[in-house]
Structure 1
Amino acid sequence: MDRLDEEAITTRLADVPEWRREGDEIRRTVTAPDFRTAIAIVNDVAEQAENLNHHPDIDIRWRRLHLALSTHDAGGLTEMDFRLAARIDAIAADHGA
């Protein structure tokens, strides 16, 4: 998958407003209602990540999930990062986070 240029990244970030760019990554923190829900979110994200064969970095701190996306093979952000970000947003919303 091809790396996105700066204009495309800016455009795609507008579609996922919960995410922020940090260098060659996009990041989001999700706060779940409780720890069990946080783990359910991680499980649902894992399923989507496997389906897309694109895997986020996830740091779990009680009910807070810190997620980071980048396409390491492409050396930066690709359409796949934003596709998974949108799915993660939907999963978080489904779980009330």
Structure 2
Amino acid sequence: MPVERLSAAQIEQGLEELPEWGLDQRKLYRHFVFPTFIEAWGFMSEVALLAETQNHHPEWTNVYGRVEIYLTTHDAGGISERDFRLARAIDLL
């Protein structure tokens, strides 16, 4: 079953429910800051487990206590509901 890319209006509506997330490079984006590298890495481990259960994996970077997450659905050619589902799950961590 193909994944559908969301319209700009649908993305804006979804972002209203996720105030910590924004758009960067046409992807959902959020940055996190942790006091230590170990805490950042632990968070990334939790996100990795979420991503694996959803079979939807983020693009991300980590430098010391900073983690940046970008979500997009390559099969859809942009942002899909899968990205918002993962973002909501990440926010619950």
Query: The TM-score by the shorter chain falls in which range?
Result: over 0.9
Match 2:36 to one of 34, 41, 46: 34
Identity of aligned residues (%): 38
Could you say which residue in structure 2 is the equivalent of 1:16? 18
Give the structure with the higher percent helix: 1
Amino acid at match of 2:66: R
- CA positional deviation for 1:22: 2.1
Could you say which residue in structure 1 is the equivalent of 2:51? 49
Poorly superposed stretches of 4+, deviation over 3 Å: none
Q: Which runs of 5+ in 1 are unaligned?
A: 92-97
RMSD, aligned CA: 0.9
What TM-score do the two structures reach when normalised by structure 2?
A: 0.93
Could you say which residue in structure 1 is the equivalent of 2:74? 72
Q: Which runs of 5+ in 2 are unaligned?
A: none
Q: Partners of 1:33 and 1:85 in 2: how far apart?
A: 22
Q: Partners of 2:27 and 2:90 in 1: how far apart?
A: 15
1:29-56 CA distance string (max 9 Å, x none): 0011211110110000000000000000
